[in-house]
Chains A and B, each alone.
Chain A
Amino acid sequence: MSSWLSMLPETLRISVPYACAAVAGVWAERSGVIHIGLEAVLLTSSFSSVAAAVASGSLLVGMLAGVLAGVVVSVGHALLVERARVDAVVSGVALNLLAYAATRLALRGLYDSASNSPSIAGFDLGPKGGDVGAMLARVLLDPVTLGAALVIAASPWLLARTRLGLRLRACGESPEAARSLGIDVVRTRVLALAISGAIGALGGVHLAFDQHRFESGMSAGRGFIALAAVVLSGWRAGRAALACLVFGALEALQIALQDVSGTSKATTLVQLLPYVATLVVLALGIGRAAAPRGLGQRVDDG
């Protein structure tokens, strides 16, 4: 019974990395940069946050290092695509592979392990205890979750109402028009990717802090699920985050079902639930809204 009720805090906890990555994807693609390197952002930020936390003994330093890593990877992608004119899909795939290999290599080098880092302490704010209320309080008081919730909630407004948001969307819809109005398309896109990287990195940091360590390949495809959420939402931040919440709920349900059914073949099938649901929704074409018109378009300089 308690496993059913605990689904609420579980859903929130599970959704954070997905939602961060999805909103990161929205920021990038609304500015016109195709971004399939969300996995790389998640992985490098979770690794960096743990490594910095281990080295400094401070979770806050870890968090900052994670965000910085996400920004670096993301801005690197933007520069490769917009300045060096590398194909965005190629760059994204390369970053994903590179991030996977580099974090493994660093694990080996720093901690002499093929699979995981040493453990770190968590923030562990909020009441102790196993009842649902305490669990919910702990999830909600987590600084990473709070930070993520804040930027995710602010994103739709920032994109819709601010100068940066308007210009960024103009670069995504019609880079030619933006340029003719004196907007520096490349700079705007690099800035968008920096913001995107920071938001996505919060997801990576959450992933690592939640497990109290870094595990090789721990993003486990979340960046791609997030990408599906971006498409589903029609490139809208709020809806993308909501889609991730639903996905998180399905995953929580799957965990709860596992508790009930124990270990059997059915478990494996149940684990597929969130992915199958995502596929079905994508296939049904719900919210098959148009992508930003200028997605992947570059502008020539005079």
Chain B
Amino acid sequence: MDGLLLELVKVSRSFGATRALHELDLRLSPGRITAIVGENGAGKSTALRLCAGELAPDAGEVRVGGRALHPARPEEAIRRGVGLVHQHFMLVDGFTALENLVLGAEPMRGLRIDFAAARREACALAERTGLEVDFERRAGELTVGERQRLEILKVLYRRARAVLLDEPSAVLAPSEVGELYAALRRLADDGATVAVVTHRLDEVVRFCDEALVMRRGELAARTPLGAERPPELVAELTRAIMGREPPAPLGRPAAPDPGPEPVLELGGVELRDAAGRRLLDGISLALSAGEIVGVAGVDGNGQRELVRVCAGLERATAGTVRVGGRDPFAGVHPGPAAVRAARRAGLVVVHEDRQREELVLAASLGDNALLGDLGAGHDAERVARRLARFAVEPATPRLPAQALSGGNQQKLVLGRARDRQVRALVVSQPTRGVDVGTARRIQTALAEAAAAGAAVLCVSADLSELAALCHRIVVVRRGRIVCELPPDASEDAFGRAMLGVEAA
């Protein structure tokens, strides 16, 4: 594969009054994996979207292979060999994986799309790259990992020579992250230009060749990662990202004495889908006041359902959820009434998919901040407090929620949850897509909630987060708790439990 150099030359780009990029100079070279790191809102996604022709620069030039990208449109970028995997998946949920793969570059046979040829090519591509996907399934039914792989395959199917990925690992389990980077390494070895936006600095140090640090729309630092990778590197990168000293390491609150009665208790919770399959298969857990329990597992093993049951969005087909000894869902229909019942009982839930379950993207930040508490009075104060809780940026209440970067959306959601009366807090992926500094603040807030007497159940794909935060961690597989591990168990032990492989 020929290399394809991507350059941003003194590129500026604003959205209304927000200056996303300011005279940014960026160079992505072939044959290596370049990491792009920076706080939420630093302009990382904007930079990638400019490379992919989705945005046009206000000033400066985007160069692909030495020539200006003109016109600045996705079809031109694709034609020139640039492929972007978006932070939020760009899949047509109702289409099969195969249809998604060929969309826009369909092999034809007369008037018809030649799906047989497409399937052959897809399988060959999957085999060559080691990115396996069930091509006959609908995209909406694929696991997050599969969707991720499909997005990369889409880019490769279009013969991209530059592959840009926007926070690809945020949704993956540790084992999947390893596979992802292995596939990316093969591409880079083949001569492709690979760039990855990520907040996980351990990944950067382990898998990448170079780190570009962005701050406020500019390039703040360029760190080549040679053969020597001292452990201080992560701290150094953190400093560059934040522009100041990194936050103190998280202090886990001391494990509480088990009280006489658990605050949050799941008793044999079972959930079946319409076809009778068990999505949750007898989950039992008891959390005392002040306790933080982590839930680890490969995505799609019941975590989402567990959270939905706690929120009152699904009714457990068997078993109970109790808060302070009472079942808030007794005699309530699942849905809005149950959600209100949970909230009244002090059971506060934060879902993993903030765009689908937590926010009304077209509505204003102010309205979103009040969602669930409309009519409770003191609206302006409440909005200001919730936006300020984790410093949502920009904190302009009348802006639509979709104008926020992913990390800032998460800050809003958590600010709203923490502002409520909390006896038990169930959070899923609290720091997914959030920069290091903010992630630390969110984790600290969870620890504070526990210290103040709440029971905290935290579902996360980030093992280091669970290890730093939790008193104990349960591993789920196929809707069942397969084991409980102490927070200092090895990553290997977690990996084996999550995948169901016996210890060697």
Query: Which residues of A line the B interface, CB within 8 A?
Result: 161-163, 166-167, 169-170, 173-174, 176-184, 293, 302
Contacts and interface: CB of A to CB of B under 8 A. Distances in A.
Given A180-B54, A182-B73, A174 B113 contact: no
Which 9 pairs show the lowest CB-CB distances between chains A and B?
A182-B75, A181-B104, A302-B55, A177-B90, A182-B74, A180-B90, A174-B92, A173-B92, A182-B78
Interface in B51-87: 52-56, 72-79, 84, 86
A182 B91 contact: no
B197 to A, nearest CB: 16
Contacts of A163: 106, 108, 113
A178 B49 CA distance: 15
Contact of B104 (A161, A167, A173, A176): A167
Interface stretch (B33-41, B93-101, B381-389): B93-101
B99 A166 contact: yes
B138 to A, nearest CB: 11
Contacts of B77: 182
Interface in B28-51: 49
A163 B94 CA distance: 16
B112 A181 contact: no
A218 B21 CA distance: 58
8 contacts: A161-B112, A167-B104, A174-B90, A177-B90, A179-B54, A180-B52, A183-B103, A184-B75
A160 to B, nearest CB: 9
A173 B112 contact: no
B54 A302 contact: yes
Most buried by B among A161, A170, A183, A302: A302
A163 B110 CA distance: 10
Contacts of A162: 111-113
A285 to B, nearest CB: 17
A294 to B, nearest CB: 9
A243 B210 CA distance: 61
Contacts of B84: 180
Contacts of A184: 75
Nearest to B50: A302
Given A166-B103, A170-B95, A182-B74, A161 B90 contact: no
Interface in B89-131: 90-95, 99-100, 102-106, 108, 111-113
Contacts of B75: 182-184
A302 B113 contact: no
A183 B103 CA distance: 9
A167 B75 CA distance: 14
B295 to A, nearest CB: 30
Contacts of B49: 302
Contacts of B72: 302
Contacts of A170: 92, 95, 103
B258 to A, nearest CB: 47
A179 B55 CA distance: 12
A174 B105 CA distance: 17
Given A166-B113, A181-B105, 17 more contacts: A163-B108, A166-B102, A166-B106, A170-B92, A173-B95, A177-B90, A177-B91, A177-B103, A178-B103, A179-B54, A181-B78, A182-B73, A182-B77, A182-B78, A183-B75, A183-B103, A302-B55
A163 to B, nearest CB: 5
B106 to A, nearest CB: 5
Q: Point out which of B56, B72, B105, B112 has the most chain A C-beta atoms below 10 A from its C-beta.
A: B112
Contacts of A178: 92, 103-104
Contact of B86 (A161, A166, A173, A180): A180
Contact of B74 (A167, A169, A173, A181): A181
Contacts of A173: 92-95
Interface in B148-179: 154
Contacts of B94: 169, 173, 293
Contacts of B92: 169-170, 173-174, 177-178
A300 to B, nearest CB: 10
A161 B113 contact: yes
Contacts of B55: 302
A293 B93 contact: yes
Contacts of A183: 75, 103-104
B111 A302 contact: no
A182 B71 CA distance: 12
Contacts of A161: 111-113
- Among B73, B76, B84, max chain A CB count under 10 A is at B73
A181 B153 CA distance: 13
Nearest to A162: B111
Nearest to B115: A161
Contacts of B111: 161-162
